[in-house]
């Protein structure tokens, strides 16, 4: 009976020592790791909450990775758009209507400055961040804006901007360089050697949008009959002299400009004793000579406006078509050759250099090209296409100005220069518009950037809160655990001493 009790006591003491040793090891591990245990089972009743919070922290970390990339894109976009807006403002200065100074290379000084601005604008629009072209939507795998040489002169058998300008100029000016108007020679009837009436006709050469349209003709000419225009297409008007006009009598012709034919060119000629003063025609020796003087003056004025105002409008129209590619739109070119008698446009797809090669699917919101999920219920969009209207207009205006030919250096070339530069400046800064479209895009990006930044701040706060709760669940009180370890060490030491005494007992000692 006595031996059995001693044996049992020894087994019990050995077990207790093992338990104390395991507990000491567990407490030592806790002190080293700072956590209650290495498995969720060791956490206790809060393990489900701990799992949920750990998952939330992991999700936030994935959002933060997306936010880091998005912030890089958004910050780069903001800086790029800010510079593009500066280029737009600099471009208005470069397109100076009062700075027609030719250089030896056949360009004006302003064209040289415009080319430098265009080069920088293209480089910005081709900005790339780790394989992502920020102005190419999402599909761009190379520069979304073509090389300037290709844009200007074409490449790979495809036509460039200068070809468009040339074709549209031919189509708008016509074979006679007078805006596609047919001007008849003077027809005079005589009574013996005395002219009784003289008539000439000016008419549109067909029903189309090219060249001038005759809008209205009014006259205060004495002894002159005016017939038309009738508002038809094609339209015409006749002027018939049956006698001499009086000094100061006048005739006014209004011609509309393509393609919309809403802008008007006004030609006013006044009867005078000589034609030395601009805007006059001379009263001749008889009505035939007077009619011829008016016809000559009208013809010269029409040709002059064709070579200046109409030519500038033609260039603007051609560039509008060449650069009109947004949302899958196809550029339109003149249906020719021949171009000087063309009456229609055809698709330029397949025959024209694609100046923009980024994402170009049909859309009403290019921002949706690029999306980033930054929270469980928040997706931000910040896609930008280089062929969006405000960005396209910057490239278009500079490229058209650089491509224009003022190399003749004549007074007519200077007036053409003035008309074109004024038209292109109005594209860069439309009348009545205080804020440019580039600023509008920059505002979209700034709002998105602000949203992402605020979301990031919220993630940081929530992550800190979650991690604090996790630390409370999984963590330990190091002071308490250290005290427990000391107590365990003491208990184990005492137990070892007791065990040693028990294990060393012999039968004789017991008895």
Look at residue 449 in the predicted model and tell me its pLDDT. Answer: 97
Alpha helices in 126-236 (DSSP H): 148-153, 161-173
Q: For 223-268, how does the pLDDT look when each residue is reduced to its tens digit (9 = 90+)?
A: 999 999 999 999 999 999 999 999 999 999 999 999 999 999 999 9
Cβ-contact 202, 183 below 8 angstroms: yes
List the structure tokens of 101: 């100074």
| CA gap 233, 4 in Å, rounded | 128
Cβ contacts of residue 265 below 8 Å, gap of 6+?
Answer: 212, 254, 255, 256, 257, 305, 309, 310
Closest to 317 in 3D by CA, of 499, 148, 161:
161
Calpha distance 423→288 (Å, rounded):
40
Collapsing DSSP states into helix, strand and coil, what is residue 277?
A: coil
Q: Burial, 24: exposed, middle or buried (Cβ in 10 Å; 0-12, 13-18, 19+)?
A: middle
With b for 16 or more beta-carbon neighbours within 10 A and e for fewer, the 388-406 pattern comes to: bbbbbbbbbbbbbbbbbeb
Q: What pLDDT shows up at residue 97?
A: 87
Please choose, from the candidates 410, 399, 409, the residue with its C-alpha nearest in 3D space to the C-alpha of residue 315.
399
CA distance 82 to 421: 24
Q: So what's the pLDDT on residue 510? A: 43
What's this model's pTM, rounded to 2 decimal places? Answer: 0.85
Q: What is each CA distance from 10 to 23, 169, 174, 372, 497, in whole angstroms?
A: 20, 114, 121, 68, 13
The residue written with tokens 């498995």 in the block is 39
**Quick one: tokens of 359?**
């994402």
Q: Please, where are the H alpha helices in 281-407?
A: 287-305, 311-323, 389-403
Give, for all 511 residues of the chain, the pLDDT tens digit: 444 554 555 566 666 656 666 555 555 655 555 555 555 555 655 667 767 877 999 999 999 999 999 999 999 999 999 999 999 999 988 998 888 999 999 999 999 999 999 999 999 999 999 889 999 998 788 999 999 999 999 999 999 999 999 999 999 999 999 999 999 999 999 999 999 999 999 999 999 999 999 999 999 999 999 999 999 999 999 999 999 999 999 999 999 999 999 999 999 999 999 999 999 999 999 999 999 999 999 999 999 999 999 999 999 999 999 999 999 999 999 999 999 999 999 999 999 999 999 999 999 999 999 999 999 999 999 999 999 999 999 999 999 999 999 999 999 999 999 999 999 999 998 877 778 999 999 999 999 999 999 999 999 999 989 877 766 765 554 555 456 555 656 566 666 666 666 666 554 554 4
For residue 102, the cross-strand partners are 108
């Amino acid at each position: 009976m006595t031996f059995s009790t001693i044996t049992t006591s020894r087994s019990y003491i050995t077990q207790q020592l093992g338990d104390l040793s395991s507990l000491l090891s567990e407490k030592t591990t806790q002190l080293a790791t700072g956590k209650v245990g290495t498995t969720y089972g060791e956490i206790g009743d809060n393990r489900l909450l701990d799992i949920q919070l750990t998952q939330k922290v992991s999700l936030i970390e994935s959002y933060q990775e997306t936010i880091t990339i998005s912030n890089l894109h958004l910050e780069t976009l903001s800086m790029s758009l800010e510079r593009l807006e500066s280029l737009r403002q600099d471009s208005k200065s470069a397109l100076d209507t009062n700075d027609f100074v030719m250089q030896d290379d056949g360009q004006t000084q302003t064209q040289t400055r415009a080319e430098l601005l265009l080069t920088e604008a293209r480089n910005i629009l081709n900005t790339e961040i780790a394989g992502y072209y920020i102005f190419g939507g999402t599909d761009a795998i190379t520069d979304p804006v073509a090389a300037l040489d290709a844009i200007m002169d074409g490449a790979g058998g495809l036509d460039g901007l200068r070809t468009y300008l040339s074709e549209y100029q031919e189509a708008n000016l016509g074979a006679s360089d007078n805006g596609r108007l047919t001007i008849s020679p003077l027809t005079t009837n005589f009574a013996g050697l005395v002219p009784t009436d003289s008539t000439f006709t000016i008419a549109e050469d067909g029903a189309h949008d090219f060249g001038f349209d005759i809008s209205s003709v009014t006259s205060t000419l004495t002894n002159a009959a005016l017939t038309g225009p009738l508002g038809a297409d094609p339209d015409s008007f006749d002027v018939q002299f049956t006698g001499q006009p009086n000094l100061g009598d006048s005739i006014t012709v209004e011609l509309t400009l393509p393609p919309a034919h809403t802008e008007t060119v006004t030609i006013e000629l006044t009867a005078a004793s000589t034609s030395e003063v601009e805007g006059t025609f001379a009263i001749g020796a008889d009505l035939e000579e007077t009619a011829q003087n008016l016809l000559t003056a009208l013809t010269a004025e029409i040709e002059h406006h064709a070579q200046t105002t109409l030519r500038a409008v033609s260039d603007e129209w051609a560039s509008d078509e060449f650069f009109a590619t947004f949302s899958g739109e196809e550029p339109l070119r003149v249906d020719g050759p021949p171009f000087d008698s063309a009456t229609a446009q055809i698709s330029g797809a397949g025959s024209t250099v694609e100046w923009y090669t980024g994402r170009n699917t049909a859309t009403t919101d290019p921002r949706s090209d690029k999306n980033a999920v930054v929270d469980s219920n928040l997706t931000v969009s910040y896609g930008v296409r280089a062929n969006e209207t405000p960005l396209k207009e910057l490239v278009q205006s500079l490229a058209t100005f650089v491509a224009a030919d003022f190399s003749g250096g004549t007074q007519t070339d200077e007036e053409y220069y003035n008309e074109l530069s004024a038209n292109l400046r109005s594209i860069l800064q439309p009348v009545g518009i205080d804020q440019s479209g580039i600023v509008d895009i920059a505002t979209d990006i700034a709002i998105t950037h602000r949203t992402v930044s605020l979301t990031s701040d919220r993630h940081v706060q929530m992550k800190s809160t979650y991690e604090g709760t996790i630390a409370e669940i999984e963590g330990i009180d190091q002071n308490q655990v250290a005290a427990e370890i000391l107590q365990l060490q003491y208990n184990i030491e005492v137990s070892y001493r007791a065990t040693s005494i028990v294990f060393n007992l012999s039968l004789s000692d017991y008895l």
